[in-house]
Chain A
Amino acid sequence: MNELIQESKVAAFVEHLPQTMLAIDKELVSKAIATIKTTDFPTTRTEAWKYTRLARIAAISTANQTAREGKNLSREDIHSSYQITKDGLTFVFENGVFRSDLSSGEFPAGATIKPLTGCTKEELAIVGKSLTLENEVFNAMNTAYAVDGMYISIQDKAIIDAPIQLIHLITGKNTVSNLRNIIQIGKFAKAEIMQSYFALDAEASFTNVVTEVIVAENAHLTINKLQYEEEGNYHISTEQVDQAKDSTFTINTMSLNGTLVRNNLNIEVNGVNCMTNLHGAYVLKSNQHVDNHTIVDHKQPHCESNELYKGVMDEKSTGVFNGKVFVRKDAQKINAFQSNGNVLLSDDASINSKPELEIYADDVKCSHGSTTGQLDEEAVFYLRARGISEKSARHLMVSAFIEDVVTKIENEAFLNYTHSLLKERFGWDF
């Protein structure tokens, strides 16, 4: 047959990217490449991407990637501008490449922490274990073109006090960073990881992060994520989490800047007695678009999950929340709560909310709620009557609304840092 196989747009997109040098299973990589060849970028006809248009990402001219010009970054620059806390380890990546010259801190006992480029084939055997590649273009792209990322493995019973900080800098024009992180928390171990994304003289840059997380029995893991990539840059991130029995997993996602941000959280609760907390705040203005997609899949009984997402949309921004809770057959005694609140501050802003429940067991308590509204004018009046200017009154109310979820962050340094960014971008006082 002379039939021409039309190349997908994704294939053209990745043409100029270097294939992964990581010690990942070759078969997996070729499978990912095969997926890329046959799949196109999802459109709004795909249910999972119904509200998010990817044309701007697809239009990035990957052939013309240009590096950032200007003075070289120093460790001091990182410490003064991007480091959230001086405690613990700080790893810095630029466009997905590990920068040892900018990283600092002391390695804690009981943990193996290194960039993926330094990992053996055995260590990377778990890559792609529970990640779907079919029809998931960004997962496939990440698997085939991952440059680097973090490998964090915490030994059983190790308690890592200081947070592990990963700072990702996006620089240059039309750059594409495929980052892959592997996080393994051993039995009875505890750790806290901070991930922050910043842009520095970047334009039309695209970050595609996949983080695979394994939380073993009785382990505790908290991930604090901060997205502040400036307008004109795009970010897609996927967290694939596997929770074993009696474990606790918490993730706080703060999306405060960046033109297009999409977060996919896929939490598989594979053990009994687990606790899962997903918190997210998205505060948007100009033409920003933030899309939070969460899936909590309860496969075992006696678990609890809490989900709280709050957003403020101003100017021409768009927010999307799509939360899904699965309770599988026989996963009895599940308490799953999902809550989404939105405030629209402008007539050009919009919100699409889709809180879904799919329940196949009967002895469960599941609820979800979603609200969309605006500031209460009477409350604004109350504050103004007490001598507070209208602007301050509105700031006060919006910040109080979002503070509900921001204060879920337990790490004080991270909380303060988030507050400072909110002040910098929106002028709110806390």
Chain B
Amino acid sequence: MGYTENELAKDLENQEYKFGFVTNIDSDKAPKGLDESIIRFISAKKNEPEWMLEYRLKAFSIWKEMVEPSWAHVHYEKPDFQEITYYSAPKQTKKYESWDDVDPEMKATMAKLGISLEEQQRLTGTNVAVDFVMDSVSVATSFKAKLAELGIIFCSFSEAVQEHPELVRKYMGSVVPMTDNFYAALNCAVFTDGSFCYIPKGVKCPMELSTYFRINEGGTGQFERTLVVADQGSYVSYLEGCTAPQRDENQLHAAVVELIALDDAEIKYSTVQNWYPGDKEGKGGVFNFVTKRGMCERNAKISWTQVETGSAVTWKYPSCILKGDNSVGEFYSVAVTNNFQQADTGTKMVHLGRNTKSTIISKGISAGKSQNSYRGLVQIHKNASNARNFSQCDSLLMTDECGAHTFPYIECKNSSAKIEHEATTSKIGEDQIFYCLQRGISEEKAISLIVNGYCKEVLNQLPMEFAVEAQKLLAISLEGSVG
């Protein structure tokens, strides 16, 4: 017999995290720890206006009163918030006028990550505009001029604070208030950068906008904010990718993403999250505690698509508040956990308006000794007549040491609502594998075939550029794991 299950499992275990390199770039770091002076330091470094500093300090005072939540189905050593460096920026902070000015070291990093901006620079036509955020500081944004022609603003968050304060002040914190939760409050106090995007009325963004997040420096936390505002009748597709170097310590990533889709607008937000998951003994890895939420006004649509393969601990619930009548929320997710990874992820669909619709498709795959949980909320409020929800959460178990859990909350206060929820948990059937083997397909191929088929509904939702990457990631994460 050729490739046995055990060999496959071993292969999987030894699968190296290929983004685990460290870039040697001098960086400007704040001292470790967190107090008011650090917040003032960050704010001063970023040359922020007074209102921004006040906002941060207010969030900090709220955060101090809060306790870390412990309801999620994950176990980890609570991060020591005084041991984290809250500000770390690549030293060259001057603005890049042209691509040639970019630090070669940085260019190499991007190339390794597979986002060759250079190449894209050369190509014309529809492409992906990338905002590259390293250690919470935005280092390069491409295609800016081209987008500006259409009135689209796509820049780093700190730039937006300087140049478009009216938009930032209007929308920041309108979907995720600073009092929302422990990590959102922390983010409000110490966030360093992120991306900002504004699509004007009636504009259909001609290219995919993309942010690439990377934690480079050791002992730092990444706290970025993303704010996407789609004005009436506009459309944007937004991509987000994440990686981090291989380190033995646990790094903290606490981001806030706010989406605002005004009347008739549509936002498609796709994430391929591949933070360093820790080694096979479960040492190191990124703690991913993210608050993502979108607000849908009348006839608007927000669609979240995520492929989660990384992080030691994930705690993430991209949500939609369906405030306007006829608004639509969608959530498509593939969450893969391996070795000692733990994921508690899902979504919240809050139906407030009439004729609102939501779809939830969640596919969990657990391998190794990992724990994978789906936690979701579907809430139909009293006035949400004719609301409709369909949820499906399936779990696939690869070994007998992993776990798959489902915690759906369904709350309905309107008699005209229709809600369906279904979930299944199973492993890849021996008969399915046997069927493939019989037809000359190797076991490994068969598994990848079945897993790909299993995730297809979600992968189909990803933009082309990402779908390929996501499929590769899936293959890497799961190669040969069958129980």
Contact = CB atoms under 8 A, between A and B. Distances in A.
Interface stretch (A89-97, A115-123, A348-356, A413-421): A348-356
A366 B426 CA distance: 7
A367 B423 contact: yes
A350 B395 contact: no
A258 B461 CA distance: 48
Contact of B425 (A344, A349, A359, A370): A359
Interface stretch (A129-137, A224-232, A371-379): A371-379
A357 B426 contact: no
A364 B418 contact: no
A345 B420 contact: no
A309 B397 CA distance: 27
B46 interface: no
B382 A347 contact: yes
Contacts of A344: 412, 414-415, 417
Interface in A355-401: 355-374
A368 B423 contact: yes
A347 B415 contact: yes
B415 A367 contact: no
Given A356-B408, A371-B420, A363 B400 contact: yes
A9 to B, nearest CB: 24
B406 A357 contact: yes
Given A47-B71, A345-B415, A371 B427 contact: no
B425 A367 contact: yes
A49 to B, nearest CB: 14
Contact of A369 (B409, B413, B417, B422): B422
A361 B422 CA distance: 20
Given A344-B414, A358-B403, A364 B426 contact: yes
Given A347-B382, A356-B405, A363 B418 contact: no
A357 B423 CA distance: 9
B401 A329 contact: yes
A332 B400 contact: yes
A369 B405 CA distance: 14
A346 interface: yes
| Count class of interface residues, chain B | 35 or more
Interface in A326-345: 329-330, 332, 342, 344-345
Secondary structure at the A interface, as helix, strand, loop or mixed, is strand
Given A329-B400, A345-B415, A368-B406, A357 B425 contact: yes
A330 B400 contact: yes
Contacts of B397: 359, 361-362, 364
Contacts of A362: 397-400, 402, 427, 483
B468 interface: no
Contacts of B322: none
Nearest to B367: A362
Interface string B425-468: 11100000000000000000000000000000000000000000
B18 interface: no
B410 A353 contact: yes
A372 B416 CA distance: 9
B98 interface: no
A123 B208 CA distance: 73
Interface in A234-260: none
Given A363-B483, A370-B419, A372-B419, 20 more contacts: A344-B415, A351-B412, A352-B409, A353-B410, A355-B421, A356-B406, A357-B395, A357-B404, A357-B423, A358-B403, A360-B403, A362-B397, A362-B399, A367-B424, A368-B421, A369-B420, A369-B421, A369-B423, A371-B420, A373-B417
28 contacts: A47-B71, A329-B401, A347-B382, A347-B416, A352-B412, A353-B410, A354-B410, A357-B395, A357-B405, A357-B423, A359-B403, A359-B425, A361-B397, A362-B399, A362-B402, A362-B483, A363-B400, A366-B426, A367-B422, A368-B421, A368-B423, A369-B420, A369-B421, A370-B421, A370-B422, A371-B419, A372-B417, A374-B416
Interface of B: 71, 382, 395, 397-427, 483
Query: Which are the 10 A-B pairs with shortest beta-carbon distances?
Result: A362-B397, A344-B415, A372-B419, A353-B410, A350-B413, A366-B425, A369-B422, A370-B421, A367-B424, A357-B406
